[in-house]
Chains A and B, each alone.
Chain A
Amino acid sequence: MDRQAVMQQGLAETIPVPRLSPEARRRQLREKAIAGFITLMAFTGIAALVLILVFVAKEALALFTEAEARHEASLSKMFLPQVVRQNRPPAFVWQPVSGVPKVSMIPLFIGTLKTTAVSMLVAVPVGVFGALYAAEFAPRRLRELLKPVIELLAGIPSVVLGFFALMVMATFLQDTLGLNTRLNAVVAGLGLALAIVPVIFTVAEDSLTAVPRSYREASLALGATPWETAWKVVLPAAAPGILAACVLGFGRAIGETMIILMASGNAAIVSANLGDSVRSLSATIAAEMGEVVVGSTHYSLLFFIGVQLFLFTFVLNMLASTWTKRVVKKLTGSAS
């Protein structure tokens, strides 16, 4: 036996290891098992996200693996102008159910962009200004009333907003604007704005209230008016959070389905006119999945649209969460 081993033996003798009673050991094991089970449960969130991507992508995969589907809906047929009729310039047409399926996704992208643009144009000013009012100017009572009210607005199911856009706003807008079609990008966009204003308001208000009081006090002490303080000091300080609010609203607008399905008219028209009917990516899935043959090219195409929606919103969400983290880090870092 060499010296080291002897020394170690000596050490082990001088520091006795506490002996656990069998019951205590059982208890320890049970604690470990419970902790393990809880950790396993926490894995569900990650698993769900991965499974969503995998299983939506799996059904879309046929577009790239099967020869027939690849011929019928190649990437160039989806995204480049195609000659639809002879002696006419190439065009973008979405007509997946016809003798010769036409599968250009451009009309759907245009539809989504038009409704989203209209909704953002309305929802960003209203949401951000409303948040500014709630965070900076509103008396305390009013603010405490305003927040639950906005939460109620956020709680309205989107099918009800779609119903409201379809039954009330569409008629009203047609009468006032004199548009040709009753259901169009403007109606759908305004209905969509109702859904995303609460999102923008809530996130923007959170980041505005995260700005330390000392910023406001310093600005006011230097002689700035309350408006100048809010506009030139508080708002810039919370800018990444405001941006995150807009990005989250944008992501929600891209993916929102029922409002657009009900209020946009669902005609896949390529035009710059906001008064035309539009067909969005999300509404296309909702409208066509019911009648599609499982496993057909059309079916894979709808899942492919789903993959694109997933990826768009994923990227937007990652951007938004990075920015919100930045505003929190900046403000807490400089305040302490």
Chain B
Amino acid sequence: MTHASRRAVGLALTSLTGLAAFLMVAMLALILLDVIANGASHVTWTFLSQPPSDGMMGGGIFPAIIGTAALTLLMTLAVMPVGVLTAVYLHEYAPPNSRFARWVRVAVVNLAGVPSIVFGLFGLGFFILFVGKGMDRMLGHEELYWAQPGILWASLTLAVLTLPVVIVSTEEALRAVPMDHRTASLALGATQSQTLARVVLPGALPGILTGAVLAISRGAGEVAPILFTGAAYFLPDLPSRLNSQFMHLGYHTYVLATQSPDVEATRPLLYATVLVLLLLTFALNLVAVIIRTRTRRKAAGAH
């Protein structure tokens, strides 16, 4: 083959790779455009502030928004301390070539790959039927109190699911804190924990926030783990106790899309719900991307 023809073949195949990249962007644009075009007109203040009515064929999604927010808030409270401290152990405290640290890493990688529906089974089997039942017995509840699906168990299930996200981004953030900062602090007589609390963690804060935001975005969108651990089909009341069930944007989407008696009547509601859910997760992801690029640029500038 002559050089010119090799070049031509190469160019053709190169444009094929470009096409693949374009296809991914195009699918994203298609989904966004479809959801915005069909949903935007229906996202009104009444839609955002009213509970569903007329057998899910009217009204809004207020309880679902509050339910999702409460769920992710509880999840964040549970996952952040554990995730951040695990990353701190892996990056700051583990002795070099520590076998325990290696095991933790293997576990985290595998935890990230466990199917979300299995987390749902775990939440049911562990939190509700084991922990919840045990608490009921210890606290002397005659009826089911903790041993039933509720927002606490759902949020803890999601916390286990998002643990790898937090650990990975926190570790990346810790890696970006220059070694000099630590040695300088130690040389000034600070102990390891003082260095951690006053130098390393503040330096890594943007990255840790990125992890939190990513975890929230992941947790807000997951439906499979909360199917049996607390999500409710229809519940006009807001969750008031840790063991109450709740409505959820993702679960509401699933219900509207698959269990509606009249598909055409619920279509605008469905699209509007999806639009709100997408805006929420995209806004969170965008925040994470922005924080991360900014810190990366800063880290690159520091060296």
Contacts of B28 in A (CB 8 A): 149, 152-153, 156
**Which of A15-23, A42-50, A77-85, A97-105 participates in binding chain B?**
A42-50
Q: Is A91 an interface residue, CB under 8 A from the partner?
A: no
Question: Is A217 in the interface zone, CB < 8 Å from B?
Answer: no
Whether, in the assembled complex, A58 has its beta carbon less than 8 Å from a beta carbon of chain B, the answer is yes
- Contact at A56–B224, with CB atoms within 8 Å? no
Is A262 in contact with B258, judged by CB distance below 8 angstroms? yes
Is B277 engaged at the interface, CB distance under 8 Å to the other chain? yes
B residues near A126, Cβ cutoff 8 Å: 20, 23-24
Does the CB pair B121–A157 fall under 8 Å? no
**A225 interface contact, C-beta 8 A:** yes
Asked if A309 is at the interface of the complex by the 8 Å CB criterion, the answer is: yes
Contact B223 A256 (CB under 8 A): no
Report if A286-B120 is in contact (Cβ < 8 Å); known contacts: A41-B82, A48-B107, A251-B113.
yes
Whether A257 lies near B6 (C-beta < 8 A) is no
Assuming the A-B contacts A130-B24, A166-B257, A285-B117, are A226 and B10 also in contact, with contact meaning beta carbons closer than 8 angstroms in the complex?
A: yes
Measured in the bound complex, the distance between the Cα atoms of B93 and A75 in whole Å is: 47
Q: What residues of chain B lie closer than 8 Å to A294, measured between beta carbons?
A: 129
Q: A44-B86, A152-B28, A282-B117 are in contact. Are A129 and B16 (CB under 8 A)?
A: yes
Q: Which residues of B contact A72 (CB under 8 A)?
A: none
Tally inter-chain residue pairs, CB-CB below 8 A. Answer: 272
Give residues of chain A (1-51) contacting chain B, Cβ–Cβ below 8 Å. Answer: 27, 30-31, 34-35, 37-39, 41-46, 48-49, 51
- Residue pair B115, A197 in contact (C-beta under 8 Å): no
Pairwise interchain contact A248-B113, C-beta atoms closer than 8 A:
yes
Report the bound CA distance from A233 to B104 in whole Å.
Answer: 35
Given the complex of chains A and B, what is the CA–CA distance between A163 and B163 in angstroms? 27
Check if A306 sits within 8 Å of B121, measured CB to CB: yes
Report A294-325 CB contacts with B as 1/0, cut-off 8 Å: 10000000110010011001101110010000
Do A159 and B163 form a contact, CB below 8 Å, given A133-B18, A153-B28? no
Interface residues of A in 246-262 (CB under 8 A from B): 248, 251-252, 254-258, 261-262
Q: Which residue of A lies closest to B275 (CB)?
A: A160
Binary interface encoding of chain B residues 119-133 relative to chain A, with 1 for a CB under 8 A from any of its CBs, else 0: 111101110011000
Supposing A52-B119, A166-B257, A227-B11 touch, asked if A313 and B113 sit within 8 A by C-beta, the answer is yes
Contact B160 A48 (CB under 8 A): yes
- Chain B residue at minimum C-beta to C-beta distance from A147: B289
Contact status A35-B192, CB under 8 Å: yes
* 8 Å CB contact of A256 from B13, B115, B267: B115
B284: nearest chain-A partner, CB-CB? A155
CB distance from A251 to the nearest CB of B (A): 5
B117 touches A255 (CB 8 A): yes
Give per-residue flags for B245-277: 1 if the beta carbon is below 8 A from chain A beta carbons, else 0: 000001101100110000000010010001001
CB distance B221 to A158 under 8 Å? yes
Q: Which residues of B contact A130 (CB under 8 A)?
A: 17, 20-21, 23-24
B95: shortest Cβ distance to chain A, in Å? 10
Contact check, A137 vs B257: say whether CB atoms are below 8 A apart.
no
Q: How many angstroms from the CA of A257 to the CA of B103 in the assembled complex?
A: 28
- Chain A: residues with CB nearer than 8 A to chain B? 27, 30-31, 34-35, 37-39, 41-46, 48-49, 51-52, 55-56, 58-59, 125-130, 132-134, 136-138, 146, 148-153, 155-164, 166-168, 194, 197-198, 201, 223, 225-228, 230-231, 248, 251-252, 254-258, 261-262, 282, 285-286, 289-290, 294, 302-303, 306, 309-310, 313-314, 316-318, 321
Q: List 7 A–B pairs whose Cβ atoms lie within 8 Å, in order of A's numbering.
A: A133-B14, A157-B223, A164-B35, A228-B10, A285-B121, A306-B121, A317-B109
